[in-house]
């Protein structure tokens, strides 16, 4: 189970830019810092700018900066902006807008191929996987870029807190 | 964000076999039913048998049947059995055993490449994404193959139930 490399790189790019609020950052420096190709980073920067997360300044001395404060950049919004689709299983492509909150923010060019499964519409898999994806995105929506910056207080309690029967039932 | 096609096919294969409890099913018929190559299905059948979900009978008249009742096959266990890894972001490969319950059931050949991100260990991204994955898998663990079979009562309440602030806080 994976997010695309583009989403991974986008999160790292935003983390890098957020750590240098006093100046413009360049694609070249982000490429050097993480060993990511400039061609990839140009596409990512373009999409993040369209999504309202980055501002770019053209020309000599230009570069990029965050378009909003790190606390106003929810991680879930970045993932929705970058992922081409959430087609966890083939038949699920039909339901992608239903289960994920704010999925209307999915990029318009997200592919939504028709399913070829004979059980499509008859089995309950899409509903259950949709519910799981909903919980995944809801968790990301609780955190912003500010929460995960180096030096920020770590939300480790979400990782280490045992999930009791009671909290699981309330989920 | 995607599961592998192998996981998708494994779930469909189990759904097909579960619908024919009175006889052995063959790879050829599953291949025809879903338009999946027999070579893929042989690998999937092998892994599902190793995972204790399928029993196979060799020879003429042989085939496969479920090794347990559909109600005893949690969807989360099937996904853990089939996915090669849960490397949602590169740095997360280090943490894969921590956040996902029963991740010890991950296949031993799951790749765990070292991260190359300079922020590795300094930013909080792996923790938050690990928490989101934990919630994804916990949801799948609540449902079995029996819950998603065609004709089973649909767990649509999980999809359509609005998530209130209270339930979100308890999650």
Q: Is B55 helix (H, G, I), strand (E, B) or coil?
A: strand
Verify whether the Cβ–Cβ distance A7 to B89 is below 8 Å.
Answer: yes
Least CB–CB distance from A3: residue in B88, B101, B138: B88
Residue B122: partners with Cβ closer than 8 Å, 6 or more residues away:
A150, A151
Cα angle, residue B16 at apex, residues B14 and B18 outer, rounded to 5°: 65
In angstroms, what CA-CA distances link A128 with A30, B9, B17, B122, B135? 39, 16, 19, 35, 13
Alpha helices in chain B (DSSP H): 5-18, 27-34, 38-50, 75-82, 125-141, 145-148, 157-160, 165-170
Residue B97 has pLDDT above 70, yes or no: no
pLDDT at position B104: 37
pLDDT at position A157: 40
**Is some CB atom of chain A closer than 8 A to the CB atom of B146?**
no
Task: Please report which confidence band the pLDDT of residue B17 belongs to, taking 50, 70 and 90 as the band edges.
Answer: very high
Encode pLDDT of B62-88 as tens digits: 999 999 999 999 999 999 998 877 777
Closest to B10 in 3D by CA, of B54, B70, B58, B56? B54
- How close does chain B come to A147, measured CA to CA in Å? 7
The larger pLDDT score, comparing residue A138 to residue B161, is at A138
The one-digit pLDDT tens for each residue of chain A (171 residues) are 778 888 989 999 999 999 999 999 999 999 998 888 999 999 999 999 999 999 999 988 899 999 999 999 999 999 999 887 777 777 665 443 344 433 333 333 333 334 456 555 667 888 888 889 999 999 999 999 999 998 776 544 433 333 333 334 334
Q: Which residue has the tokens 């020309």?
A: A59
Least CB–CB distance from A136: residue in B127, B135, B158: B135
The CA distance from B38 to B61, in Å, is 17
Verify whether the Cβ–Cβ distance A135 to B133 is below 8 Å.
Answer: no
Least trusted range by pLDDT, from A86-90, A164-168, B117-121, B122-126 = A164-168
**Is some CB atom of chain A closer than 8 A to the CB atom of B157?**
no
pLDDT at position A43: 94
Verify whether the Cβ–Cβ distance A117 to B12 is below 8 Å.
Answer: yes
Residue B136 has pLDDT above 80, yes or no: yes
pLDDT at position B121: 60
pLDDT at position A101: 35
Residue B46 has pLDDT above 90, yes or no: yes
């Amino acid at each position: 189970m994976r997010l695309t490399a583009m989403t991974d790189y986008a999160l790292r790019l935003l983390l890098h830019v957020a750590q240098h609020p006093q100046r413009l950052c360049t694609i070249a420096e982000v490429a050097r810092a993480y060993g990511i190709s400039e061609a990839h980073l140009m596409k990512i920067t373009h999409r993040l700018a369209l999504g309202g997360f980055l501002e770019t300044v053209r020309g000599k001395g230009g570069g990029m900066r965050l378009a909003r404060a790190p606390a106003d950049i929810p991680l879930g919004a970045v993932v929705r902006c970058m992922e081409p689709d959430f087609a966890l299983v083939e038949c699920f492509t039909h339901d992608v807008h239903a289960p994920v909150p704010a999925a209307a923010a999915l990029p318009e060019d997200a592919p939504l191929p028709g399913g070829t499964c004979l059980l499509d519409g008859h089995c309950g898999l899409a509903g259950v996987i949709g519910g799981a994806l909903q919980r995944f995105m809801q968790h990301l929506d609780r955190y912003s870029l500010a929460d995960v910056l180096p030096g920020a207080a770590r939300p480790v309690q979400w990782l280490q807190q045992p999930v009791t029967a009671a909290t699981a039932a309330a989920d």
